[in-house]
Structure 1
Amino acid sequence: EGKGLRLPNLFTYFELSIHAFMANSYINNNVDLITFTLMKMVVPSFDRFGVR
């Protein structure tokens, strides 16, 4: 059973690195949008607790 383990692990690592690269590119391209969305989520909760 352990013989065929190396190839799937290599393939999984390759696949994960592709997904990580794509996610990294997406985040770099949309960092302003993501920051804006996070601020829209965070600031109202600050207002609710009276922090600001």
Structure 2
Amino acid sequence: MLAMENHSVSSVEGIIDDDVDKSIRNLTLIGRDGMNETDHLILKIMTSK
């Protein structure tokens, strides 16, 4: 949506870094650590039905 309005997010504001390796690390942290609690919550919801 930002791109459609000719706006962008800089490396200072978002999870993407000027260094591609750091960007990959950031995305990996979200996928690994950030989703861990989500997995537990989804399982809790599913098993309590």
| Bucket of the pairwise TM-score, normalised by the shorter protein | 0.3 to 0.5
Q: Which has the higher contact order (CA 8 A, sep 6+)?
A: 2
Structure with greater Cα Rg: 1
TM-score (norm: length of structure 1) = 0.44
| The structure with more helix, counted as a fraction of residues | 1
